[in-house]
Amino acid sequence: AQKITQTQPGMFVQEKEAVTLDCTYDTSDPSYGLFWYKQPSSGEMIFLIYQGSYDQQNATEGRYSLNFQKARKSANLVISASQLGDSAMYFCAMRDFLYNQGGKLIFGQGTELSVKP
Amino acid sequence: ETGVTQTPRHLVMGMTNKKSLKCEQHLGHNAMYWYKQSAKKPLELMFVYSLEERVENNSVPSRFSPECPNSSHLFLHLHTLQPEDSALYLCASSQELGQGVNTEAFFGQGTRLTVV
């Protein structure tokens, strides 16, 4: 069965520093996608970055990068140069492709990031 | 309007009431989802619609009844709810490209439901 694990309930980071949010996953499907979402206090889930299981390079989107280690089944999110507006809940999610009619996402428990001025 | 829009944003209802949550997407997507987010818990998938057909029902109690009249609209009809059903209900949509490949899901801002 699919499973996503985020072991850090809460994290603190100083403004302008980098922070890594951990995510490990488990799936028996060789074809899958990994996603990170940000959820501010307003409630909306904002898509940040995507990594496909066959992608050769780590995904990057602006200040966000994904440290994808396939053998370890980890997909950690790295936020560089943290900003106060980065304070939010961050969710790791996975979708496998072969047995997933409808494309549903499975989410981890989330990590609450607080950026200190 | 763009993106995924949910109404109402907040809802307080009694256990004997009947209400509906509405979700509308203007992204041209063909798959839509309802998720429940309770405090201190991961998002729980409730229902999946693909091409207006329900393809997944994750053992959701019958007091929750989804409806997808077309690819742009998704409803969640609520009746005789319990206090433990209080949560944030999130709607999402994505584009299914065939053979199980989907684009990323876009979410609405959610409806915060309180059952009293």
Enter the tokens of residue B32: 């839509």
Q: Does B92 sit within 8 Å of A101, measured CB to CB?
A: no
For A13-29, how does the pLDDT look when each residue is reduced to its tens digit (9 = 90+)?
A: 999 999 999 999 998 88
Q: Is A22 exposed, middle or buried (0-12, 13-18, 19+ CB in 10 A)?
A: middle
Tell me: pLDDT of B1 over 60: no
* Between residues B101 and B82, the one the model is more confident about: B82
**For position B54, what pLDDT does the model report?**
83
Percentage of the residues of chain A whose pLDDT score is greater than 90: 74
Confidence of residue A98 (pLDDT cuts 50, 70, 90): low
Residues 79-108 of chain B whose Cβ lies under 8 A from any Cβ of chain A: 88, 90, 92, 94, 96, 99-102, 104-108
Which residues lie closer than 8 Å to B100 by C-beta, 6 or more apart? A97, A98, A99, A100, A101, A103
| Torsion sign across C-alpha atoms A114, B2, B4, B5 | positive
State the Cα–Cα distance between residues A103 and B95, nearest whole angstrom: 9
pLDDT at residue number A99: 60
User: For chain B, how many residues are written?
Assistant: 116
Q: Are the C-beta atoms of residues A82 and A16 closer than 8 Å to each other? A: yes
What digits encode the pLDDT tens for the residues A40-57? 988 889 999 999 998 889
